[in-house]
Every structure is written in C-alpha cells, then in structure tokens.
A and B are shown apart, each in its own frame.
Chain A
C-alpha cells in the first residue's frame, strides 16, 4: 500500500533518460560505498561508537513494526532488548556459539513480546501504553535483578564471536544484520502480512470484515518487533561485551520511541538516519564542545554531563516533529527517495498534472483501506504510517487544509 496510483503512473510515464539513470546509480552506489567504508576509514574506537548507531537503527526498526505498521505503542522496549542481551550473554557463556545465540535471543524477545501481544488483544490504545510501561518496569526491577539470569549488579560478560573481535569487524557484522532487517521490513510492507498489519492500523473492524485475521497478525507484529529487539539486544551485549542491569532503563526506551517518531514512522531510511543522529549525538557534541562553551549557559564542568543532553534534544525534536513535520525525517527525504527510485525529484502531485492527482490524494487522506501496491514504484509515502494520523507530506497543501477544517473537533483517536 502507501503507493498512490497517481504517483505510480507518474513514475512509470516519466522514465529517466540514460543520463538520469546513471546519475541515480552513481548516487546510490556512493551512498553504499560511504557506509561500507565507515568501519575501515574511522579509527577503531570511532568505529566502535558508530556501531551503536547501527544497533539503535535495528531497535528503531523494531519499534517501527509496532508504532509505524501496527499503530500500537510500546513504552517498554528496554525489556525486549534487555532480555535479548542477557539471554545471548547467558547462552554464549554456556558454550552455545554466537551465531546460534543471536537468533535465539531474537526468539526469546519474540516470546516475551507474544505475552504482551496477548494482552494487547484485549487492551487498546492509551491503556496499552500503560501496560507496556508496566511490563518494562517489571523487567527492569524484577527480571533483570534475578541473579541467576543476569548476575545482578556485577554484570555479565558477553564476548564477541571469533573473527569479529575487532571493532571494525564487529561493525560489519552489525551492518549485515541491519541490512537483513531492512530487507525484512521492505518485504513485510510489500507482502500480504504487512498489508494486513497496516489494515489493522487503519481500522481493526474494517480489516476483520475484509478477511484479515486480526488476532494472528497483531500477535505476529508484536512477535516480529520483539524478535528484532532481541537481536538488537544480543548485538548490543556483545558490542559492549559486559552488560549490567542498568543498561536497560525506561529513559532509554523512551528515547528510542522519540528516535523512531523523529525518523518518521514507516520510513526505513528516516529511522536509520534518526538512529545515527541519536546514537552519535554525544560524540558530536563532545567534538564541538569548545564552540558550545561560547554559549552563555554552558560551562566547562558540563563536559562530563554532555550525554545527558541527548534526551533533552530528543524531546525537543519530538515535539517539533509532532507539531510541525508529523512525517519526521522520512517526510524530508521523500524527494530524494522518489528520485532514486526513478521518479522526478519534485512532487508530481504538487507541480503540474494537477487533474490526475487531486482525486487520488483526497482518497488517500480519508484513510481508505490499503490498495495493493504497484510493483513499479517504490515511492512510498512514509508519512502515511503515522499512527492513524492525518497530515502526510502534503499537509501544507490546500486540500489538506480543507480536509482538516471540515473535520469535527473531538475526534478522539482512542
């Protein structure tokens, strides 16, 4: 879904010329090469810091399955990530090879998420947020403090697998996992399961009448999210090689949620970029600290507290995103994505050919059940995936304004 037919036809009709194709290919390959070179070009400790961004991206994509695709919130994701991390550490400690422990950690995350998913079948909307919050607290205060499972406060060693001991090698490993996860998400969105999950987001009852097995796909989405979180937890554990209970706290779970929203729900590229930004912000700030000190309210003894500014900036970005750009970074990336996929850079819906585009746009704004995606165009509109939200990318357009104006005031989404 998410591909308006007008956009699809516009993309098909205007095939880029040979030069355009070459330019697109060149830009795409430069992007890939830059990412692949990061671990080798950077000094080792920088590569280690960059690995954090990759792990955050996987966590963001895990949250995206719930927040973006299914439209349910999880404020307790530290539970799944932590469970994956401790399970992986425990298994590797017992002699199970890392490459078996990694998927098994995902399975453990999926099982835990299935429990929460069963609850989510009965409890919806805001109350589910409370339940996930409570679940996170229980994991934090109870499960992660059971010494037999986590060794309590002394920390659990989680050695890296042989062959990936160095920081650049481990970063490549994480990048490979991220690539697989991205591929999985792409295939999910393009196939029956993903469409079913997104139909549930739009309207559970309508989805059920269309023949979607709501129970199954809700549980499936929760388990997939838990699986990805568990895998991210395993990668995290073996990245810092020694994990403790207070590595997985509520604040972190909330920052992940902010990160996913800022990245743009449903937008893979946006989430990866936001994850990179959130994970590397402390390092960036440290680098420009001499400049920051010129600001009146920053003094030298703040340097040690610098990482604490990340949630503050995250909260600011979150509120700005929600109020001004509900589609997040994904919304900003839309022209680039469209261009890379072979379409025009400028929005065909806004510039020219207005007659073809208007009805399609209006249809989509009403949140109609998803239409099967055309194969040709990968120009999805990530913004549409905001939890039931109005206001996609073209929110500024007159049509959108009109639609908003006519909407009755008290449309409580939950």
Chain B
C-alpha cells in the first residue's frame, strides 16, 4: 500500500519535476515566477489533440512534435510580447503579467471549445503490468525515461556548451555577461523557449494518463511544481528534479493517508510543505540563494 503510494507519487513527481525545471530555468534567467508555465503544456496538448483527431488526422508522433513546437513558439512569443517590454519593471508586475497570460490562455480554450474532458491516446497502448503490486502502463515508463533523458541533456548543455554557459553567466550577472559579449536578449529567448519546450513535454506526457480539460496543467500541476521548485531551491536545476519528485511522493501520501473527513489532503500537505521550506530553509534543498 505505502509502496504503491510512493511509486504513484514518483510518477506524478516526474511531471512536477519537468514543470519545475521550466520554472527554475525562467527564474534563473529572468528572476520571474512564471505562472504561464503550465499553459505551455496545455497548449501543446490541445494542438497535438486537434491535429491528431481533426481531419486529416496526422499520425500521433507528428502531432506530438507539432504540439511541442507550438508550445515552444508560445514561450518565445510570451518572452517577446510580455516579458521583454516589462523587463525593467518590478518582479511582482511580471508575475501578475504571466498570470494574465495563463488566465487568458485558459479562457481562450474555454471560449473556442467546450469545457468537456478530452482524451489523448497513450503511447505504447493501455496494457497494464504490475511491479510489486503497483499497476504500471508503458506511458509511465516513458515518463520516467523522458525525465532521465532530459536531465542528462540539460546537464550536458549547461556544462559542455558555450551557449549553456552563456545562460548560466547571464543568470549570475547580466551586465557582466553582456560586457563579455553574450547577447542577453538571445539568452532570454532561449531560456523561455527551452522552458516552454519542457512545459510542453510535461503536458504531452501527463495528458494521456487520464482525460484533459482546458487549463488542466495550470489547475492541477502548476502549484505542486512550484512547491517542488521551492523545495529543491528556485535556483537549482538538479533541485527541481529532486523537489518535483519529493513533492509528488509527499502529496500522494497526503492524498492517500489523510482521512477523508479532512478534504483536500493534497493541498494541505503542499501548503504546509511550502510554509515549512520557506520559513526553515528558504534557499531550498540544493539552492544557493533565496
């Protein structure tokens, strides 16, 4: 029973971790809490779903790739239209602006389509197999693999490439890296594009697990992912992995073990965790600054 909870929590945690990665990337790059991060996922899912189900009905894999492309494009667009004009404003203003993007995107989806639940087909079919009494499907395996692959790729990008180094440098000292020839505008675009790509990835992996509705990534994933990012440390990319997985497990335990007479066990656990981290260790488990 407890093993099942932990395994389920880890699987949800991969999605939290992916979204948290995007949040941390943007925070490192622009010192912004990006409330639109969940919407990158929802938009990717909607684009993939429309391309796959509406005639002419593209193959699933092509639809998924185009969904990812749409999410990335949205990230670049948000950076150009909203973030860059506001880059000199207080961070709280930018936060409200990204929340505006999220709400606008959700209600645009609601306006253009019905609020009904939709289904995105699973990769690898619906066959269930059991690992120590816990039911798994191929989609779960793909999720875990995706997180590992992305983790390794990001590690290599930031440690081995000049571009990755430029991103880290401009995150640490924008002016100094500008003076040493880094185009901070291009870095900003890159960061938002990458974050949106990760967000899109998270959405496309999450949606097939059950049904999806307009704004589902914002309403169900964004807040746990934020908690995960804070737990791991807002400035630490490995922290986002750890925090996301940790929050996945803890909130699953909360949902499973807090008695039903107290509704909202998951939210209570997250709230308590957030307060605990912020008051005891505001820089998070692996972060260097608050």
Contact = CB atoms under 8 A, between A and B. Distances in A.
Interface of A: 71, 73, 75, 119, 122-123, 125-127, 129-131, 133-135, 137-138, 140-143, 145-146, 250-251, 254-255, 257-258, 261, 302, 305, 308-312, 314-316, 318-319, 322-323, 326, 386-390, 404, 407-414
Contacts of B81: 319
A115 to B, nearest CB: 11
Contacts of B96: 73, 257-258, 261, 318, 322
Contacts of B101: 315, 319
B110 interface: yes
7 contacts: A131-B274, A133-B223, A145-B263, A311-B107, A314-B100, A319-B81, A407-B88
Which 5 residue pairs are nearest across A and B when measured between Cβ atoms? Answer: A413-B90, A315-B104, A142-B264, A141-B264, A145-B263
B81 to A, nearest CB: 8
Given A408-B175, A409-B175, A410-B175, A322 B90 contact: no
A134 B223 contact: yes
Contact of B31 (A145, A261, A312, A414): A414
Given A137-B271, A258-B96, 12 more contacts: A73-B95, A126-B33, A134-B223, A137-B223, A142-B267, A146-B263, A261-B96, A308-B111, A315-B103, A315-B107, A322-B93, A411-B88
A129 B23 CA distance: 15
A340 B96 CA distance: 32
B250 interface: no
B256 to A, nearest CB: 16
Contacts of A390: 88
Nearest to A412: B31
Nearest to B107: A311
A130 B230 contact: yes
Contacts of A388: 90, 92
A211 B90 CA distance: 26
A127 B278 contact: yes
B282 interface: yes
Contacts of A308: 107, 110-111
Contact of A142 (B227, B263, B279): B263
A414 B92 contact: yes
Contacts of A119: 275
A141 B219 CA distance: 12
Contacts of B89: 322, 326, 389, 413
B85 interface: yes
Nearest to B82: A319
A309 B111 contact: yes
Contacts of A138: 264, 267-268, 271
Contact of B92 (A122, A131, A133, A413): A413
Contact of B279 (A122, A312, A412): A122
A129 B268 contact: no
A1 to B, nearest CB: 19
Interface in B26-68: 31, 33
A135 B271 contact: yes
Nearest to B101: A315
Nearest to A388: B90
Contacts of A73: 92, 95-96
Most buried by A among B90, B108, B270, B279: B90
Contact of A134 (B99, B108, B262, B274): B274
The winner among B107, B268, B278 for most chain A CB atoms within 10 A is B107
A313 B26 CA distance: 26
Contacts of A258: 96, 100, 103
A130 B33 contact: yes
B144 interface: no
Contacts of A314: 100, 103-104
Contacts of A305: 110-111
A126 B88 contact: no
A255 B103 contact: yes
Contacts of B290: 127
B288 interface: no
A71 B93 CA distance: 11
Contacts of B271: 134-135, 137-138
Contact of A302 (B100, B111, B178): B111
Contacts of A126: 33, 91-92, 95
A2 to B, nearest CB: 18
A121 to B, nearest CB: 10
Most buried by A among B91, B96, B230: B96
Nearest to B170: A410
A404 B88 contact: yes
Interface centre among B101, B230, B271, B282 (most CB of A within 10 A): B271
A319 B100 contact: yes
Nearest to A251: B103
B226 interface: yes
A18 to B, nearest CB: 45
Interface string B252-290: 000000000011111110110011001100100000001
A54 B175 CA distance: 48
Nearest to B104: A315
A135 B174 CA distance: 34
Interface in B70-86: 81-82, 85-86
B147 interface: no
Given A126-B33, A142-B263, A387 B93 contact: yes
